Structure 1
């Protein structure tokens, strides 16, 4: 019987369950089930379907339960950040959780900063100000007299809510909580003064845990449904980016990472928070990582741009779109990917076309032109953020590791290398699930620490390196890009 780890990896557009185990040759992973994660739009609000996510997780566990050759050692859950579930005194979920893309937090930071200064919040948390941070979501619900919040006995972030549904135990995992802008970056625990500012206390949250700690065992109900035993659920890096960064196959500290998916998250690893007037001005974030690290990073709008366009293109394959982009005219159109107009438009394709017209650019006429516009704009935005990171990093940045689904996009990887002027190393594409499994392996005593796991990954993972080309052309394009971001 093969002993394996069960990873639950949920993104903002899809989820999957994966089993992983170690052999003399390295790490073997197998996808068990994959499922969409749809936004529910009703009453002018956007919600996640927490019950459907749970149902699909149970389905994955049932499949493994029927696999007599597999023995599950533990289970770990990672998801996107900031969103949360309100739990009543009777233990029930009070309503479906709001999505961070809900427009109800538009302008929320400015309203909050009328009471507590922006600088004070950043000095405490080191978290970049984004309107959907949990701090502003909760303050918005408070101002709107939201009934779920008013009756909440506990507030659980998404991975913690799902682990609660599996185990009956309520926890607050450090890496996911750090995205909320409610954690003190120095003490690495919930900050009472910020909680009090929105009418909450630490008692509204579950037991605080860190990556590698046990949450609890599967409930008898789940055991009966899945035909599995009292398997422990482990607090991995609950935030998917923290899990992905754990799986960066870096040779040393002189690297930056780009976790490329719906969001692009570019950053470096540090041992202590980097909270200065410069990082505040640039709106960089200090999120919790594994093994006591801090992830100094910037959120960048990523494949969300293309994913939303593909809704109108009847599922045209990525390979077709990439070929069309490659055949189109270079630098004909550029956008600023992080402009608020691209946050959640009803029609992304039209939003991009309108943006180009409003910025005195030629009208986009073909699908290839639009996809090329997205890819080139992302590559140039990566350069902009990386230049800031170089000025903040305590060590040189010699290579950019691209991990996650975007690492499979050879065209974008090459253009990124061209834009930033240093090599890009792509892989692993399944970094988030691998990082999830790595933390479980350390917790189970199958590995010493994350550093040793990274060395293993570097040996066994097929990696592809892209070297910079056409420097003068990309330097000129960057100057063009800067004119639309000023």
Structure 2
């Protein structure tokens, strides 16, 4: 029997359980379970169903038992910024509202009465985004102050699932950094900032680094899934895990973690909290081994995913790419425009943007996809230009990891607009990074460079 590790990788639209083992110096993956995810309207807000998600986490673990492949450890990674508040009896206070909900409208102005955006960036290194935890907590403070009064703890989404699995409460560094409440200097909570904003400091635990062993499965979970194993904190923010799986070494590496969001940036040992960095829309999120993910958030494949849901035709993403490649439409939209955040119709939102800016309006599926893919690639090129200016470095290759690495047409466009070589893969980057932290924690690798060497040998990489 091999030595297995289990990654539970939960994205905005789906989750999956990936088992891994090392064989002949290579990492071998096996998807054992997959489930759907998405926000649902509840009490007038867009919410996550955490009870359902935890049931699915356990269901996937049961599959491991059925396969007679018991993992040494399990780790959960998710999207960033969202959280739960727990009372003294560890009951969730209120609904588990998600980042696409509109409750944060007007909250930036309220936060700015306490601290300017410039000072906030200087302290945290995190770029302003309306959905950041800081603004969500401000919304709670203004609409449900009783929740903060009753709260005994706050846990980010993956931290909450680790708590349900192990019974132990931890706040992991990479996911905590997405809150815009961590000090860029210390890597821990900015306690003075919390006090300034009127957020109860008692509910925040000091952050823990990826690789921390949270404990073993709770007895109830052991009985349900049929085995016991360690619970290890990965780089709990899915992008933190994905960046760890970039198959390249050194600081002269620019990556795109391509999925629902496109996160484009570099790894750095020090944050850049300058005004110039803020004005260029860059953020300094936490990475493995206290590194910084210096990157820009780009709307990503969310746009094409949303279009696909509206189509009456049953098309695959590959077929949509092929249709887009046949079009010559030159219209470009700003992928980060607020109108694309959560429109009732993405198709109408793109058409309206083109109409408003005096460009050709896409009418067919192929034209719509071509506009979106070309707009994404143009945005990547603009981001690369800013990265090189801000870091003073030149990047020969753009490394694309994650589900978007399979989008050959988008990769070709990225190479065209950036004028650089594009290295695409591995596809399962988030799960691989999650698993890598577990293996590092278990002593299977000496360091990050050894992990990345293994990843290069283990998975197919395409170049454009």
TM-score bracket, normalised by the shorter chain, equals over 0.9
Within a 5 Å distance, the mapping from 1:31-50 to structure 2 comes to 31-50=31-50
Deviation at 1:304, TM superposition (A): 0.6
1:166 corresponds to: 165
Within a 5 Å distance, the mapping from 1:158-237 to structure 2 comes to 158-229=157-228, 231-237=229-235
Deviation at 1:12, TM superposition (A): 1.1
Moved runs in structure 1, 4+ residues, more than 6 A? none
2:59 corresponds to: 59
Deviation at 1:430, TM superposition (A): 0.3
1:405 corresponds to: 403
Within a 5 Å distance, the mapping from 1:58-457 to structure 2 comes to 58-68=58-68, 70-229=69-228, 231-314=229-312, 315-331=314-330, 333-457=331-455
Deviation at 1:110, TM superposition (A): 2.4
Q: Would the aligned equivalents of 2:62 and 2:226 in 1 still touch at CA under 8 Å? A: yes
Deviation at 1:460, TM superposition (A): 2.5
Q: Would the aligned equivalents of 2:6 and 2:20 in 1 still touch at CA under 8 Å? A: yes
What CA deviation, in whole Å up to 9, does each residue of 1:288-312 have, x standing for no partner?
A: 1002211100000001101111111
What CA deviation, in whole Å up to 9, does each residue of 1:382-440 have, x standing for no partner?
A: 11111100011253312110000000001000100100111110000100000000000
Q: Would the aligned equivalents of 1:190 and 1:202 in 2 still touch at CA under 8 Å? A: no
In the aligned structure 1, how far is the partner of 2:155 from the partner of 2:392? 35
* Structure 1 gap segments, 5+ residues each: 467-486
Give secondary structure in 1 for the equivalent of 2:440. Answer: helix
In the aligned structure 2, how far is the partner of 1:150 from the partner of 1:338? 35
2:6 corresponds to: 6
Q: Would the aligned equivalents of 2:28 and 2:458 in 1 still touch at CA under 8 Å? A: no
Give secondary structure in 2 for the equivalent of 1:355. Answer: helix
In the aligned structure 2, how far is the partner of 1:159 from the partner of 1:327? 41
Q: Would the aligned equivalents of 1:173 and 1:210 in 2 still touch at CA under 8 Å? A: yes
What CA deviation, in whole Å up to 9, does each residue of 1:143-202 have, x standing for no partner?
A: 113443332111100000001111111110000000000100110001112211332344
Q: Would the aligned equivalents of 1:172 and 1:207 in 2 still touch at CA under 8 Å? A: yes
Alignment size in residue pairs: 463
In the aligned structure 2, how far is the partner of 1:257 from the partner of 1:181? 22
What CA deviation, in whole Å up to 9, does each residue of 1:269-319 have, x standing for no partner?
A: 110111112102112100110022111000000011011111111442112
What CA deviation, in whole Å up to 9, does each residue of 1:69-93 have, x standing for no partner?
A: x231111111100000111111122
Greater CA drift, 399-408 or 244-253: 244-253
Deviation at 1:354, TM superposition (A): 1.2
In the aligned structure 1, how far is the partner of 2:309 from the partner of 2:147? 32
Deviation at 1:113, TM superposition (A): 0.8
What CA deviation, in whole Å up to 9, does each residue of 1:208-255 have, x standing for no partner?
A: 2101111121000000000012x1100110100000000000143211
What CA deviation, in whole Å up to 9, does each residue of 1:106-136 have, x standing for no partner?
A: 2322221122121211111000000111011
Give secondary structure in 1 for the equivalent of 2:70. Answer: strand
Deviation at 1:36, TM superposition (A): 1.1
Deviation at 1:449, TM superposition (A): 1.1
Give secondary structure in 2 for the equivalent of 1:402. Answer: strand
Deviation at 1:365, TM superposition (A): 1.8
Q: Would the aligned equivalents of 1:425 and 1:463 in 2 still touch at CA under 8 Å? A: yes
In the aligned structure 2, how far is the partner of 1:161 from the partner of 1:207? 15
In the aligned structure 2, how far is the partner of 1:287 from the partner of 1:364? 36
Give secondary structure in 1 for the equivalent of 2:449. Answer: helix
Give secondary structure in 2 for the equivalent of 1:190. Answer: coil
* Structure 2 gap segments, 5+ residues each: none
Q: Would the aligned equivalents of 1:109 and 1:130 in 2 still touch at CA under 8 Å? A: no
1:20 corresponds to: 20
1:469 corresponds to: none
Deviation at 1:105, TM superposition (A): 0.7
TM-score, with normalisation over the residues of structure 2?
Answer: 0.97
Q: Would the aligned equivalents of 1:342 and 1:351 in 2 still touch at CA under 8 Å? A: yes
Give secondary structure in 2 for the equivalent of 1:417. Answer: helix
In the aligned structure 2, how far is the partner of 1:57 from the partner of 1:96? 20
What's the Cα RMSD here? 1.3
